[in-house]
Amino acid sequence: MSESASASTQELERAALDSLAAAESESELEEWRIEYLGRRGVLSSRLRSVGALPVEERREAGASLNRLKNRLSNAFDEAAERASGSADRRSTDDGIDITLPGRRPNLGGLHPSEMMMREILEVFNDMGFQTVEGPIVELEKYNFDMLNVPPDHPARDLQDTLWIDRESKDRVLLRTQTSPMQVRTMEKQRPPVRIVSPGLCFRHEATDATHEWQFHQIEGLAVDEGVTMSDLKGTLYEFARRIFGTQRKIRFRCDYFPFVEPGVDVSVDWDGRWVEIMGAGMVHPKVLEGVGYDSSKYTGFAFGMGPERIAMLRYNIEDIRHFFSNDLRFLSQF
């Protein structure tokens, strides 16, 4: 009995290998695998019937069927590998080489202005300033009047305005600066106030390498009891250290902005040249009173900077018009 069992094992092996050799496609291979190695396949049913053999034969018969199962499953793996290799070649014959590396999809990235703004905002967020955003289409009173710039004020000439509606009582414009967010924030909130506000601004401006009619600003405002000029300087020094490095020299010089008193311009040393990066100052008492703050109790500082200007210094960009010209040769460098 054991001889005939092993003889039939050999026959089975031969038959299985012959039919494996004849299987070419992946589906034929799969059929073969199910027939011989599947849960209800030939080998499983042979193994199950081992139990019916006389006790002294079971062990040997079972072991020999298991060895056969291993050999067949190795043979199957090899055949499957060969088949997938030839499938590659077939595809290549069709003119598609699926062995080539894939093409990278163009994922895009952040705009350099956005990158710069996020970096700047993070510095101030770390110092406890909260980011708030406001409307681009703004009321005249927020953009000018409540910032101590009445209609006949000469400072309006410096900011040639793009008007949306000049006829109504509440005149509407494209904001020329992010400073209106100082007023909007204070109107809603009692001190202490510490905010930064990024966003687009627009001016009816002749463009050149350093002027665009559209640009970003980041506004900052801190108001509380006992805020002084030294808080302003300390905060802006720390900002400059984080953005330009610890060795960079900073200069504060007197300047005039209607909504601060005193006002300063802040410049950084750039290869021996002073480059202005922002305006700043102590919030004018009129601005504080205008939103109902008691200016004898509260003081504050404010600043406003142009992230494009700062990115130009940082990355040696010679013309601000690159930022909004949508040229991928420029944008993809960032």
The long-range contacts involving 323-329, CB below 8 angstroms and separated by at least 24 positions, are 323/111, 323/112, 323/113, 323/212, 323/215, 324/212, 324/214
Total residues at the site for ligand DAH (CB under 6 A)? 12
Q: Between 307-315 and 112-126, two packed helices, what is the crossing angle to 10 degrees? A: 100
Q: Which stretch binds ligand DAH (CB under 6 A): 71-79, 86-94, 206-214, 302-310?
A: 302-310
Least Cβ distance, residue 105 to ligand DAH (angstroms): 40
Query: Would you call 100 helix, strand, or coil by DSSP?
Result: coil
Nearer to ligand DAH, 13 or 145 (CB): 145
260, 266, 287, 312: residue in contact with ligand DAH (rule CB under 6 A) = 260
Q: Does 299 bind ligand DAH (CB under 6 A)?
A: no
Half-sphere exposure of 34 (CA within 13 A, CB side): 5
CB of 306 to ligand DAH, least distance (A): 8
Phi-psi region of 326 (alpha: psi -120 to 50; beta: other; left: phi over 0): left
User: Segment near ligand DAH (CB under 6 A), from 17-25, 35-43, 275-283, 326-334?
Assistant: 275-283
Binding of residue 293 to ligand DAH (CB under 6 A):
no
Distance of CA 62 to the CA centre of its chain: 62
- Which residues from 98-137 bind ligand DAH, rule CB under 6 A? none
| Residue 303 touching ligand DAH (CB under 6 A) | yes
Q: Tell me if 320 sits within 8 A of 117, measured CB to CB.
A: no
- Residue keyed to tokens 């109107």: 187
Could you tell me the smallest distance in angstroms from the CB atom of residue 260 to ligand DAH? 4
Give yes or no for residue 302 binding ligand DAH (CB under 6 A). yes
Amino acid at 68: L
177 binds ligand DAH (CB under 6 A): yes
For ligand DAH, give the closer residue by CB, 68 or 308: 308
For residues 148 and 177, which CB has a smaller minimum distance to ligand DAH in the complex?
177
Q: Verify binding: residue 180, ligand DAH, rule CB under 6 A.
A: no
Strand 273-283 versus strand 298-305 pairing type: antiparallel
Neighbouring-strand partners of residue 35: none
Positions that interact with ligand DAH (CB under 6 A): 177, 179, 219, 257, 260, 263, 279-281, 302-304
